[in-house]
A = this chain, B = another copy of it.
């Protein structure tokens, strides 16, 4: 399976907060560097995500912005 999304970053899940519809998934992509995702509660269950899971964070390039100081 190959996806057009340009960004696939290896990550480890640190924390999951469940809501009624959405869940917040906090991942670590490097020591001290977190990446946060909001996905549906259904997907958290369907993928069997839990703290410690090795996953990839995926982001479409058109969703990435650039910031300067």
Copies of this chain in its oligomeric complex: 6
Query: Do the beta carbons of A1 and B67 come within 8 Å of each other?
Result: yes
Neighbour of A64 across the interface among B19, B44, B58, B65, CB < 8 A: B58
Rounded to whole angstroms, the CA-CA distance of A21 and B39 in the bound complex is: 10
Which residues of B are found within 8 Å of A53, using beta-carbon distances? 68
A4 / chain B contacts, CB cutoff of 8 Å: 37, 39-40, 43-44, 47, 65-67
Docked pose: A49 CA to B20 CA in angstroms: 19
Of A36, A53, A54, A65, chain B has the most CB atoms within 10 Å of the CB of A65
CA distance A57 to B8 in the complex (A): 14
Chain B residues within an 8 Å CB radius of A38: 21-22, 40, 61-62, 64
